């Protein structure tokens, strides 16, 4: 996913920082609830946030995971409706919160910001389309492989990438049960696509995953 703050000019970055207010959230803290009025556009400064939808029985479906420089919940804030899912900090995180009125003002006054938002929404649409296709047609191995690729590509690291998500979170993203996900991860590890270190997935060479699960 294309980030925002690392891609824009210093002038626009400064303006966004002035209209937004920074706030920290502890791990597990709710940022907003599903159905709340979409009055704030969040931008992640540090940490990670997940957007989640809860099904009957309390089952959690992860809509998306967002890291430093990424904004989320853009469509709901743009149209002034309600948030379609809740947002929860996955680790201690710092967010820049932009009021809807200021967000709309930036769109009106800054062509650079408008193009960044359009680019974000286009990228999100492509990603969601690919996710739906993956869930509808792919094998469990392919689903998990694609999720791990997405998570690894979202981390800024030149060395090994550690995936710190719980197996349950990975299962929710892949549309699989936790038990199936555990079996698939073990199988992929045995294929040498990554290592399991102290219970965490460590990807030494992302190209191996990319070659195995390239569309």
Q: Is residue 2 part of a domain?
A: no
- Whole-number Å distance between alpha carbons of 121 and 118: 5
Residues 164 and 205 in one domain: yes
**Are residue 64 and residue 96 in the same domain, yes or no?**
yes
CB 129 within 8 A of CB 215: no
pLDDT one-digit tens code per residue, 109-160 = 999 999 989 988 888 888 777 777 766 667 899 889 988 988 887 665 567 8
The residue out of 133, 162, 178 marking a domain boundary is 133
Q: Please, what sign has the CA dihedral across residues 151, 155, 158, 161?
A: negative
pTM: 0.73
**Which helix (H) or strand (E) is 21 found in, with range?**
strand 21-25
Question: Does residue 78 sit in the same domain as residue 32?
Answer: yes
Domain extent at residue 192: 138-213
Tens digits of pLDDT across the chain (215 residues): 446 666 788 888 889 989 999 999 999 999 999 999 999 999 999 998 999 988 777 777 888 888 888 899 999 999 999 999 999 998 899 999 999 999 999 999 999 999 989 988 888 888 777 777 766 667 899 889 988 988 887 665 567 888 888 898 888 888 888 999 999 999 999 999 999 998 999 999 888 888 888 76
Question: Which one-letter DSSP state was computed for residue 82?
Answer: B
């Amino acid at each position: 996913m294309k980030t925002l703050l690392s891609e824009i000019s210093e002038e626009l970055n400064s303006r966004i920082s002035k209209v937004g207010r920074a706030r920290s959230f502890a791990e597990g803290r709710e940022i907003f609830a599903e159905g709340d009025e979409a009055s704030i556009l969040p931008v992640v400064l540090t940490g990670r946030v997940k957007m989640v939808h809860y099904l009957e029985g309390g089952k959690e479906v992860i809509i998306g995971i967002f890291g430093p420089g990424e904004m989320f919940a853009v469509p709901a804030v743009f149209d002034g409706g309600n948030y379609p899912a809740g947002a929860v900090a996955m680790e201690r995180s710092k967010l820049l919160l932009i009021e809807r009125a200021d967000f709309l003002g930036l769109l009106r006054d800054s062509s650079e910001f408008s193009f960044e938002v359009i680019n974000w929404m286009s990228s999100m649409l492509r990603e969601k389309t690919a996710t739906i296709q993956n869930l509808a047609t792919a094998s469990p191995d392919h689903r998990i492989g694609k999720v791990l690729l997405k998570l690894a590509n979202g981390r800024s690291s030149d060395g090994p990438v550690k995936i710190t998500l719980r197996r349950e979170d990975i299962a929710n993203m892949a549309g699989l049960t936790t038990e199936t996900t555990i079996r698939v991860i073990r199988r992929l590890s045995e294929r040498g696509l990554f290592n399991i270190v102290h219970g965490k997935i460590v990807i030494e060479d992302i190209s191996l995953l990319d070659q195995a699960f390239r569309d």
